[in-house]
């Protein structure tokens, strides 16, 4: 990434030699992604991250296809980037939505999708893997349902990339695939959208003809360079190696034997590095603060604003009560996680809970 802050500072849209040099790098970056994804370079659009990719996929496709119909289908466990984009289209632009339920492990039933598709349906958006529970969806099967019905299919594959075996972008059976760099050791603020040709969509940003007229704005070359390097290094052979992660996650899962601690989605096919629990008598934020006192960095699934905790919409969709859905704690392992770190968490977790119970 560093050369793009120095010698290669030029703007890839400039016609002078400094700009042209950077343009050649940008073209090369797109070719490299296309090489890994096994798609055409023109099917790759660089963005500022998953939120932008997802908004572009959903709003851009819905607006482009609205002469055919205004019905969009998604699932109850999507990231808010998906849910809020669709909500906006429904509230402000006259679209209709169907939110599919999930089973207790967080899986969408392809039959439910098939039943929900009607002649007004133009777009389906279902994620490849969930960020709160790690549950992996049968995306290819869901994509087949859409294909059979001639409906455009988008998948938010943000959590999936770099963690599951990847062969080519067609394996999702999707017309649109959103990713971002920072989930597999690329830079934050980098992302990409796969748009299967010849699908067209309306732009959501205006002002220039960048990215083949699909995303206006001068390209962030350093971020793109970092993203492409991470894709080349970490996507064909996932950086989160399941063989390394499984014993750690199995060991961490044993926390559910503590009184009042429940493992979330224990039977689902899950991402190799993700493990979540609920502890219904304790809210997530208090537990995260207690773990942080011991130097343990964990996440909740909930949005916390101005000190108020919203129950996780994902856990609510799994049928959990508000109290359970407000008590999610999620551990995400990294490629450098060690056995000692796992043992440290196992050792301190009961203390972190006890500290709260005694307070
Ligand atoms: N989708 C999923 C499944 C995510 O986990 C995230 C972020 O964590 C996003 C979308 C949004 O990503 P970004 O914040 O990079 O735009």
pTM of the model: 0.96
Q: Rounded CA gap, 121 and 113, in Å?
A: 11
Task: Detail the DSSP E strand segments found in the chain.
Answer: 44-47, 71-75, 96-100, 121-125, 152-156, 176-180, 191-195, 262-263, 274-278, 304-305, 308-309, 328-332
Phi-psi region of 211 (alpha: psi -120 to 50; beta: other; left: phi over 0): left
Pocket test for ligand 1, best of 180, 313, 332 (most atoms within 8 A of CB): 180
Q: What percent of the chain is predicted at pLDDT more than 90?
A: 90
Q: What mean pLDDT value characterizes the chain? A: 94
Measured in residues, the chain has a length of 359
- Residue 87 tokens, joined: 């909500």
Instruction: Specify the pLDDT at position 305.
Output: 44
Atom of ligand 1 nearest to the CA of 129: 3
Q: Is the pLDDT of residue 196 over 90?
A: yes
pLDDT at 87 over 60: yes
122 lines ligand 1 (CB under 6 A): no
Measured from the Cα of 131, ligand 1's closest atom is 5
* pLDDT tens per residue, range 173-192: 999 999 999 999 999 999 99
Ligand 1 pocket: which of 52, 106, 159, 227 to mutate (most atoms <8 Å of CB)? 159
Ligand 1 within 6 A of CB of 53: no
Q: Among the listed ranges 226-230, 249-253, 308-312, 331-335, which one has the minimum average pLDDT value?
A: 308-312
Three-state secondary structure readout of 152-210: EEEEECCCCCCCCCCCCHHHHCCCEEEEEHHHCCCCCCCEEEEECCCCCCCCCCCCCCH
The set of catalytic residues is 304
Chain centroid, CA 84 distance in Å? 14
Is 126's pLDDT higher than 50? yes
Distance 193 CA to ligand 1 centre (A): 13
Q: What is the pLDDT of residues 297-344, one digit of tens each?
A: 999 876 554 445 789 999 999 999 999 999 999 999 999 999 999 999
The two three-digit tokens of residue 117, written as one number: 């598709």
Residue 49 Cβ < 6 Å to ligand 1: yes
- In 31-126 the beta strands, taken as DSSP E runs, fall at 44-47, 71-75, 96-100, 121-125
pLDDT number for residue 306: 43
Q: What's the confidence (pLDDT) of residue 254?
A: 95
Nearest atom in ligand 1 to the alpha carbon of residue 52 is: 16
Residues 6+ apart with CB under 8 A from 24: none
Q: From the CB of 352, is ligand 1 less than 6 Å away?
A: no
Q: What is the pLDDT of residue 42?
A: 97
Give yes or no for residue 66 having a pLDDT over 70.
yes
**Number of the ligand 1 atom closest to the C-alpha atom of 78:** 3
Q: Tell me: pLDDT of 356 over 50.
A: yes
CA distances in angstroms from 65 to 57, 152, 226, 250, listed in the order given: 12, 9, 33, 45
């Amino acid at each position: 990434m560093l050369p793009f802050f120095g010698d290669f500072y030029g703007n890839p849209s400039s016609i002078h030699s400094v700009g042209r040099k950077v343009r050649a790098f940008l073209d090369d970056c797109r070719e490299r992604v296309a090489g890994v994804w096994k798609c055409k370079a023109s099917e790759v659009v660089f963005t500022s991250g998953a939120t932008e990719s997802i908004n572009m996929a959903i709003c851009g496709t819905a607006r482009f296809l609205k002469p055919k119909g205004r019905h969009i289908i998604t699932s109850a466990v999507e990231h808010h980037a998906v849910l809020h984009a669709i909500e906006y289209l429904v509230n402000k632009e006259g679209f209709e939505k169907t939110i599919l339920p999930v089973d207790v492990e967080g899986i969408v039933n392809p039959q439910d999708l098939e039943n929900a598709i009607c002649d007004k349906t133009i777009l389906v958006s279902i994620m490849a893997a969930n960020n709160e529970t790690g549950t992996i969806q049968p995306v290819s099967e869901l994509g087949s349902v859409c294909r059979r019905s001639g409906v455009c299919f988008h998948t938010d594959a943000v959590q999936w990339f770099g963690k599951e075996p990847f062969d080519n972008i067609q394996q999702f059976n999707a017309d649109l695939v959103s990713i971002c760099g920072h989930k597999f050791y690329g830079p934050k603020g980098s992302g990409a959208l796969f748009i299967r040709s010849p699908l067209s969509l309306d732009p959501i940003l205006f002002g220039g003809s960048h990215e083949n007229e699909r995303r206006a704005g001068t390209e962030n070359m350093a971020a793109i360079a970092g993203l492409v390097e991470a894709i080349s290094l970490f996507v064909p052979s996932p950086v989160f190696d399941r063989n390394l992660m499984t014993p750690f996650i199995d060991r961490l899962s044993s926390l559910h034997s503590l009184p009042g601690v429940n493992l979330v989605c224990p039977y689902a096919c899950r991402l190799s590095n993700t493990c979540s629990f609920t502890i219904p008598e304790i809210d997530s934020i208090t537990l995260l603060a207690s773990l942080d006192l011991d130097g343990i960095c964990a996440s909740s699934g909930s949005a916390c604003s101005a000190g108020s905790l919203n129950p996780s919409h994902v856990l609510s969709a799994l049928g959990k009560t508000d109290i359970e859905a407000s008590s999610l704690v999620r551990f995400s392992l990294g490629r450098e996680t060690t056995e000692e770190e796992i043992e440290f968490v196992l050792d301190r977790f009961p203390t972190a809970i006890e500290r709260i119970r005694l307070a």
